[in-house]
Amino acid sequence: DGGITQSPKYLFRKEGQNVTLSCEQNLNHDAMYWYRQDPGQGLRLIYYSQIVNDFQKGDIAEGYSVSREKKESFPLTVTSAQKNPTAFYLCASSILGSPLHFGNGTRLTVT
């Protein structure tokens, strides 16, 4: 079955540590996205990539970094510079211009 896999589902880290969230897709989509969702809020775009080895900042990129070395993979690193990292992180992919397919998210808790 084609889809997007985010791992792990739950992640706990101590403040000051960097953490990397995994996102893999086998849909052969060119575009991939990372969104952040806080309780009762919509989704805010962190980074997106429309092609391998290229990515653009979204609306809230500060404190995050990404890479796109392979078409299938778009990992997100939450760095210690992110002031409020506890959130639900959603990865998505799409054919450019078409609706997004989402993974089931990673809930990150930083204490």
Partner 1 sequence: SQQGEEDPQALSIQEGENATMNCSYKTSINNLQWYRQNSGRGLVHLILIRSNEREKHSGRLRVTLDTSKKSSSLLITASRAADTASYFCATASSGGSNYKLTFGKGTLLTVNP
Residues found near partner 1 in the complex (CB under 8 A)? 4, 6, 31, 33, 35, 40-45, 48, 50, 56, 58-59, 88, 90, 92, 96-97, 99-105, 107
Q: Which is nearer to partner 1, 16 or 97 (CB)?
A: 97
Least distance between partner 1 and beta carbon 18 (Å): 24
Token pair in block for residue 95? 């054919």
Cβ-based nearer residue to partner 1, 11 or 80:
11
Q: For residues 16 and 84, which CB has a smaller minimum distance to partner 1 in the complex? A: 84
User: Amino acid letter at 89?
Assistant: Y
Place of tokens 């609706």: 99
Element (H, E) at 90: strand 87-94
**Diameter of the chain measured on Cα atoms:** 38
Rg, C-alpha atoms of the chain: 13
Residue 81 CB, shortest distance to partner 1, in Å, is 21
